[in-house]
Structure 1
């Protein structure tokens, strides 16, 4: 990764952290106060032990037990206070951590769902799944350690060093001197661990992406006997991940081992110096005991910091990956001041106009549409026909505002689509694609997808209107039947009828059908066409068709070639003209009778 890319990744990570942490700043401040109180309580017992050794024990030898009992009771009380405050801190910080994790998942998922179609067409689904699963899990692992590992360790180190300086400066100087190699070791760890964990996040992303793509394409995998090849590729990706994990583990092991070594050296140095100072009469035995206890407690939080730094390095790399999802700005942004569609426009609802529209996929791509001027009358059905790549689907996507034109404008009832709020546009324009997507859940839930508040009576009426009520009623649980993944238990025709029932329920002004019957058998297509006559009645419809039977329901046919309309008119008139549409018609007939 280059320096500029590294800086951008860190900037995205920091921006994401600010977005998550700033709204919870007051709760984090309260957690910090609890952690500080816990560590203040934790600093007292070694001092009490030192006093008990230097003053309580000699007094007890003389027969005065009160000082020793007092010091013991005070140590017990501070221990109980420390445990109580720690319990409160862990409960409170745990809720903050879970809220942060929920917020991260919610924001990342909402960001992905809000991205334009161009993002999803260019961004592999496996990579998105990796961002939302394994990268989020790396953050979860860090949060599971709790804020205790960070706050307690930092406060413990600062507090212990302050007490050491107060007790004996020469002894404290030995401890502080060993922080120089510890600082150098920490800087090395930060640099190497960041690079190592970036490698692990990239490697696991490859594993998840390959797994998701192989699973989604399992039919093609089995049809072309790609099982072994896919398994070999997964083995290679897993090996790459194992190497990356081993590299990260080595960095962590070197750092943890180095911290342990520095801690042991400090204990040896302190013990040697302490014995000499006791011998010279400059140090009491209780003070040396307190020092050794503090040093032991000092390197415990350093170990905790090492573990937290290790988890944070992994989470930081994950946050950099997740932050990449927030870089892309929607290509179809919401208007700052949305306009409203006229309730009763002159001539009827559903008038669509293309005014000098230019469009291309990507800045360097060849333009797909160049200066298209087109008017679709309200309540009429228009079929778009032409060869593959002519621009039919592009016109439909612009009507649905899945993309915005690079020049010109597309209007609905006189309003530029870019001026409409997304919610109003989605209610006014609906699309039925070749594969009607059904979500896991009941048939009723799938019909009510565009209107979750619809009553059961409205859902049934929509199904009856398209002729779907009969087969839905025959399902095991009727409208409550779970359709499972993508409606695999239903035929293609049944799935399309449910999709049309959705349209009837939302009652859009404009309906787009993108080869909605191309994958059906004759009987299923006939049932869907019967439903189409009811769905299309009274609304503007744009049909992308490759089948003659689909074109037959249209009032008007537009023949698209190289992004331009080369023929326009009623189907019968175009057939009589002997042009391109007539040639396509002859080709369809030859194909169906062959």
Structure 2
């Protein structure tokens, strides 16, 4: 696959109408492959459903035929010979066919509903599981609003198709096929008249298919954009209200809402044209059949019962075509949704788990960067990095924004893999470590200090799910969080609310510290992790860090030089390179960049 192919595969889920030539075919094949994978475990049920709907349609189609037989056979037998039994037999057959039709339809709807929900359950599981495994680079470019749209709006479109459209489609297809064949068998001349009506019907169907494909894909795109804007607005509601951006967001939401309305109006207009057109063609064909059939009845060439049966079947022939149109509505919407979902599922993890991982039983924390290079699509961040951090050493990374500190930390945590060179932990390349071993050995605490809905204890135990309450409290005491947690209304059982909204920024950071320390990693990475702490809290954390980091390797990234002072070693980075390396005391006494930074920081405290 060429680079250009790969470039559009990643965005296919968002802008399906602007794909290059050949991409549409790829998307359809990709969607079919996904649908086949989801349906494969239910093959027996699908064959059973096929047999059920086939039998049900035979029972449903028996009615017009029996009416015709009743008119041509049972009624003359009763009138001419007084024989009531043929009429009773026809009536009994019609009742039996009606009961079979109702029973089999009930069985099909309930059975297909169970299969459809099982397919949707697996699809939701697969998308959620896959998105969790995708690297940070995916989540940084693919907003949470788009992900929510995939798991809600797009899955709902498939749900509507499976719950309602599939029943109508199969019934319509079988009806059209069976009735089409039966009309030709019942009376060939009248059947040929019906076939003449297929020419305009085919043109109408092709017109609808051509325009509705783009229209329904557009509806999926507009609703996704609306969900993204909605999610971002209320995710950042504090900034919205602080900067008085409500009016601007109202205008943006109104524009997106209008786009969504226009997209749906286009889809509804197509349906509004298609359904009456099919109805008109059906009525014109019915008039032609009635006129020609009546002439043949008058000439004695055709029985009245046969004409009545033919007309009843003809009505049943065209009515399902409208159901096909409504199904096509759901089908196009679901197809667009399936294209987007399959696109997400085909995103390849850039940090895959090794096929034959090396076990790391007793991690010590020695970290080595051996000729590591790394860059994004538009720039190189680390041109060539060689670094060895002995086990148990605390290293502070200092430098201006964009110097490569966070990139180094993310490579150490294997959120990214280097483009060249190798990152090793205790002599084992990170690419060869099993994810479970790597995440147990390396823990990263970031500036955002994300807390999940639940209690304080639950959030601390996130680092070690099987931890006891005493272990949780010991971890909190170690980093100085026990005091404020105990003062909360319900102590460790206090619900932190969404994203830890009931706690201050500093308190959330302390809870995230307790979570990391409870995990007891061999390598602890603190990426701007003290930036949210006030001075008293920072001093408390620094005191705790001096004790807790004594027997583990640590990388500390901080702009606050007071945090750097607890490090054994300081690395000053500039443009992806290490330009100074030494203990805090050595570098402060020198004349390099760290000394300048330290003097500027000391002057700011005066």
| TM-score, normalisation: structure 2 | 0.93
Greater shift, 516-525 or 404-413, is seen at 516-525
Distance change >3 Å, CA 465–CA 146, structure 1 → 2: farther
Selected match of 2:453 from 432, 440, 463:
440
Query: What secondary structure, in the 3-state scheme, does the structure 1 residue paired with 2:380 have?
Result: coil
1:418 and 2:431 matched: yes
Residue of structure 2 equivalent to 1:36: 54
Residue of structure 2 equivalent to 1:485: 498
Separation of aligned partners in 2, 1:222 and 1:239 = 24
Q: Which runs of 4+ in 1 moved over 4 A?
A: none
Deviation at 1:442, TM superposition (A): 2.2
Q: Do 1:153 and 1:304's aligned partners in 2 also have CA atoms closer than 8 Å?
A: yes
Deviations 1:456-493 (CA, angstroms, capped at 9, x unpaired): 44434433443333433333333332211110101222
Deviations 1:497-552 (CA, angstroms, capped at 9, x unpaired): 22122223322111100111112211222333333334423111100011022112
Distance change >3 Å, CA 310–CA 581, structure 1 → 2: same
Separation of aligned partners in 2, 1:519 and 1:354 = 30
Selected match of 2:73 from 29, 35, 55:
55
Q: Do 1:493 and 1:528's aligned partners in 2 also have CA atoms closer than 8 Å?
A: no
Separation of aligned partners in 1, 2:83 and 2:491 = 86
1:64 and 2:90 matched: no
Separation of aligned partners in 2, 1:480 and 1:270 = 78
Query: What secondary structure, in the 3-state scheme, does the structure 2 residue paired with 1:369 have?
Result: strand
Deviation at 1:314, TM superposition (A): 1.1
Matching of residues 391-470 of structure 1 within 5 Å: 391-470=404-483
Size of the aligned set, in residue pairs, is 587
Deviations 1:195-245 (CA, angstroms, capped at 9, x unpaired): 111222222222222222222222222222211111112211222222211
Residue of structure 2 equivalent to 1:473: 486
Deviation at 1:7, TM superposition (A): 2.7
> Which runs of 5 or more residues in structure 1 are unaligned?
none
Residue of structure 1 equivalent to 2:368: 353
Separation of aligned partners in 2, 1:523 and 1:286 = 97
Residue of structure 2 equivalent to 1:9: 27
Deviation at 1:127, TM superposition (A): 2.5
Separation of aligned partners in 2, 1:324 and 1:226 = 34
Separation of aligned partners in 2, 1:224 and 1:413 = 49
Selected match of 2:113 from 70, 94, 107:
94
Deviation at 1:369, TM superposition (A): 0.9
Distance change >3 Å, CA 342–CA 179, structure 1 → 2: same
Separation of aligned partners in 2, 1:367 and 1:515 = 22
Query: What secondary structure, in the 3-state scheme, does the structure 2 residue paired with 1:3 have?
Result: coil
1:213 and 2:235 matched: no
Separation of aligned partners in 2, 1:487 and 1:439 = 7
Separation of aligned partners in 1, 2:546 and 2:165 = 61
Separation of aligned partners in 1, 2:85 and 2:472 = 82
Residue of structure 1 equivalent to 2:271: 252
Q: Do 1:496 and 1:528's aligned partners in 2 also have CA atoms closer than 8 Å?
A: no
Separation of aligned partners in 2, 1:224 and 1:193 = 42
Query: What secondary structure, in the 3-state scheme, does the structure 2 residue paired with 1:145 have?
Result: helix
Matching of residues 184-195 of structure 1 within 5 Å: 184-195=203-214
Selected match of 2:327 from 283, 304, 308:
308
Selected match of 1:319 from 327, 338, 353:
338
> Which runs of 5 or more residues in structure 2 are unaligned?
1-17
Q: Do 2:165 and 2:327's aligned partners in 1 also have CA atoms closer than 8 Å?
A: no
Separation of aligned partners in 1, 2:209 and 2:139 = 34
Q: Do 1:193 and 1:251's aligned partners in 2 also have CA atoms closer than 8 Å?
A: yes
Greater shift, 163-172 or 472-481, is seen at 472-481
Residue of structure 2 equivalent to 1:180: 199
Q: Do 1:190 and 1:313's aligned partners in 2 also have CA atoms closer than 8 Å?
A: no
